[in-house]
Amino acid sequence: MNGHKKRTNLTANGMAAVLSCVLLFSCNNEDFLERDGDIAGNACDNICFGISPDGNVQTRGNAVSDVDGYTSGQFVLRSGDSADTLCVRATVSDGIHSPVFGNQQVATRGIPVTKDNFYDSFHVLAYWKKNGTLVKEQFYMNADVTKKGNNLWSSDRVYYWPGAEHTLQFYAWAPASGTFKTTPTTPKNTELTYTVPSDAANQKDIVVASPEETPGDHNAAQSLTFNHICTAIRFVTGSQMQPGTIESVALKGVRYNGFYDLTNGKWTLNDEVTDFTQSLDKEMSGSETDGTEVATGEATFMMLPQTLPTGAKVEVVFADGVTGENRTLEAPVAGMKWPQGKTVTYKLSISPEYEFKLENENPVLDAHYDILLTKLIVSDVPAGKAWTVTAPTLNKEKVTIQKQDDMNSYAKQGYWTANYAHGTTSGKLEIIGSARGETVYQGTGSGEFPIAVFVPENIGETSRTVELSVRLDGSDDIVQTLAITQLAPAWYGNGIGCERIEGEKVSWGFSWDSDFKLIYDLTSCDNDSRESIRQYVEWTKALKALGDSWLLGWLIDAIFGDDIPDLSFVDMEKSGDFIGLGGKADKITINLGSLSTSGVAESMTDGQKNTREVYNFNGIQFVNEIINRIQNIPGYKLATVGNGVFPTNNASIVCMKLNSWDIIEANNEYILSLTGGSEVMDPKWYLPATEEVAGINDTEYPLEGEYWTSTAVKDDNQHAYKHSDGSTSSESRSRELSVRAVRKKP
């Protein structure tokens, strides 16, 4: 294309393309090739170029540290034929980094562009408009520009500024040639097509500049800024390396071709995937410092930015320094992001001598608040050597770990207990501590450690992975992760979702004859236990009266609202008291037959209300706690009168346990309350009412057989409604059926 001449007295604008500092300049036509310095402010009528900065390029030297970026993922690579593991921490930092290049020229190798080693040439396109209309037949400029002096660049052909009735839109990229499969051939196109070369040494750090549209008589210096449009992938070591040789590193199943749109600065990638491998033969002594380069700088992968597709993996082949055997270690990385213009650093820690695993490997938890009871099995950690297991925070809710021996009595019954709380003088409930352990669990040496992992509910659309991170001797490096899968609800019609994993079959409950009684004889139990049971029964029976007192009424109201328990159907005989005070419990009689359940849980539409009514009915939850305490002491005897369903394990209780609970301290005793107190009366997870099961479905974990609803048959103390395939019918409350708790979608 010929240069477009205008008047010779027009002032030129030097187009800047810089990496380190803003250098705005122009030049006289006569001294274009002769002067290197003092060029700013001089007039010329031809277009020439220089260099200028951007916040997205590397300006902090080449140092890379965890401080420079954020952790994007942590995972464990495992060998298929050994217990060896390679633990990986992925960090993302701004710019394209590599700390080993110095001032090497990038044009000859696939290494990152820095402020000190910019390409010797770049290509420029100039789209132009005349009187606001795009000239579609040709580019104003379509040429390579090369370095002619200190911070001075130009094309071999001279191009002149076109004048006031014109505007120019510049696009520039480097390397100038041989990079893209196709480039725009007419102004109707703004796309660059690209395929990542298979050899890392040939993978270029592509930079692109696209300034604002420029008037044709701009006649002043203009900055043209280059941005990195690929993602640099590098490998370094952590502090827990073993002697041996890293034979190779590989990125597998990643997208590698597509087109870049110069107008919006975004990639559109094809779905095709391929593998990229570097043979390294990198010897490791085991004493490498944290951050030691694994793949040398010139072998940094330059990949296309993307969210890694299904099947994507990181693979490392490691030769054991003792046995010499090769171990192929790999881990899935699908879903991780490679951001454009960033560096992703994979930090490797190989620790084959240690092994941490859960007794039930790769456990799967349900979507509700769930407790995983398991053993942490630790192998080959020397006695006295300390380790920690750290649980993550998920959607602002902490996962916690606790010794099973330290679990409170409610948690041992299956309640997901969150906090301990007590009342304050201001009339508020105050959280005073965790009722489910902490995010960090510590131990020493090897062995089996029974633990409980408390996992908050997952109310998203998909399953999620809960990763417990293992560290040694106070190091920040993760030597292993333990993965737990948590399902999401099976969402169905009406904005409701159900839990997924089948539990034990239970009765609906609340079915008994009018003479049904539970009679506990405690005379053969030890005196301390009998006194403790006496105290608890007297305390629970007093709650009704305390609710009307000025001293504790506010606290009772804060916990129960309108559901203050009334245990008038519980009788106690005691001995050893003094004028009605103190003593030991001799006999506890629970007269369930005296209670009518008519009018309870009869809603066809509100399962939350039904479930709450059954759980709170006349304080039946306290009756269950009385029974639980008695059954935990030796020597008691139980006699029953009449026929009825035992009250401690019914369908509503099963569902209530799936929620988050606080343990409230009051008068030296404890009360279970849904997290949030009386302000949160309805449980999040509940037994659905008859009209809430329409369309209930789970393709992955199919509903099979008969399931309870929460709806009782009206004016009938013996029957409730079940559902099967979404249809409902009456059933005896004493039958044991399956339960699927449900939850409304937030």
For residues 235 and 224, state if they share a domain.
no
Residues 595 and 739 in one domain: yes
The confidence score (pLDDT) of residue 45 equals 57
Give me the pLDDT at residue 52, please. Answer: 56
Reported pTM: 0.59
Rounded CA gap, 198 and 178, in Å? 15
Whole-angstrom Cα distance, residue 416 to residue 371? 7
Alpha carbon distance 172, 189 (integer Å): 14
Tens digits of residue pLDDT in 553-588? 666 666 666 667 778 899 999 998 876 678 999 999
pLDDT at 44 over 60: no
Inside any domain, residue 705:
yes
Instruction: Give the residue-averaged pLDDT of 697-702.
Output: 93
Q: In the listed set 349, 367, 385, which residue is the last one of a domain according to the structure?
A: 349
Q: Are strands 707-712 and 69-79 parallel, antiparallel or unpaired?
A: unpaired
**Sorting pLDDT into bands at 50, 70 and 90, what band is 65?**
very low
631-661, pLDDT tens digit by residue? 999 999 999 999 999 888 899 999 999 999 9
Kindly indicate the confidence band of residue 69, based on its pLDDT and cuts at 50, 70 and 90: low
Q: How many domains does the chain have?
A: 4
Decide if pLDDT at 353 tops 60: no
- Write the CATH number for 396: 2.60.40
494: left (phi over 0), alpha (psi -120 to 50) or beta: left
Q: Which of 284, 317, 349 marks a domain boundary?
A: 349
Report whether pLDDT(81) > 90: no
What Cα–Cα distance (Å) separates residue 372 from each residue in 46, 484, 579, 649? 73, 9, 48, 20
Q: Which range has the worst mean pLDDT, 137-141, 153-157, 337-341, 605-609?
A: 153-157
Least confident of 47-51, 102-106, 327-331, 661-665: 102-106
Are 212 and 250 members of one domain? no
pLDDT at position 594 over 80: yes
Asked if pLDDT for residue 397 goes beyond 60, the answer is yes
For 223-282, write each residue's pLDDT tens digit: 678 889 999 998 887 666 778 888 899 999 999 999 999 999 999 999 999 999 998 888
Confidence grade of residue 326 (pLDDT, cut at 50, 70, 90) = confident
Q: Give domain status of residue 1, yes or no.
A: no
Give the tens place of pLDDT for each residue, 86-97: 556 666 777 775
The string of pLDDT tens digits covering residues 299-310 is 689 999 999 999
- Residue 7 domain-assigned? no
Strands ordered across the beta sheet of 707-712: 707-712, 719-724, 727-732
Based on the domain organization, do 561 and 443 belong to the same domain?
no
Backbone φ and ψ for 561, nearest 5 degrees, come out as 60, -125
Q: Is residue 460 part of a domain?
A: yes
Q: Which two tokens stand for residue 167?
A: 């505007």
Name the pairing type of β-strands 660-666 and 416-423. parallel
Residue 587 lies in a domain: yes
More confident: 544 or 252: 252
- Chain centroid to Cα 160, Å, comes to 55
Same domain for 246 and 197, yes or no, is no
User: Do 211 and 241 lie in a common domain?
Assistant: no
Q: Is residue 190 part of a domain?
A: yes
User: Is 624 part of a structural domain of the chain?
Assistant: yes
SS (H, E, C) 616-648: HHHHHHHHHHHHHHHHCCCCCEEEEECCECCCC
Q: State yes or no: pLDDT of 686 exceeds 60.
A: yes
Is residue 129 in some structural domain? Answer: yes
* Pair 208, 154 in one domain: yes
Range with the lowest mean pLDDT among 230-244, 487-501, 694-708? 230-244
Work out the percent of the chain whose per-residue pLDDT is above 70.
78
Does residue 427 share a domain with residue 528? Answer: no
pLDDT of residue 25: 23
Q: Lowest mean pLDDT: which of 253-262, 533-542, 702-711, 722-731?
A: 533-542
Residues 270, 299: one domain? yes
In this structure, the answer to whether residues 432 and 566 fall within a common structural domain is no
Report the pLDDT value the prediction gives residue 282, as an integer from 0 to 100: 85
Which domain covers residue 589, as residue numbers? 517-744
Which of residues 321, 349, 377 is at a domain's end?
Answer: 349
Query: Which carries the bigger pLDDT value, residue 418 or residue 238?
Result: 418
- Do 554 and 686 share a structural domain? yes
| Residue 264: Cβ-neighbour burial (10 angstroms; 0-12, 13-18, 19+) | exposed
Binned at pLDDT 50, 70 and 90, residue 405 comes out as very high
pLDDT reported for residue 104: 35
Q: Same structural domain for residues 586 and 676? A: yes
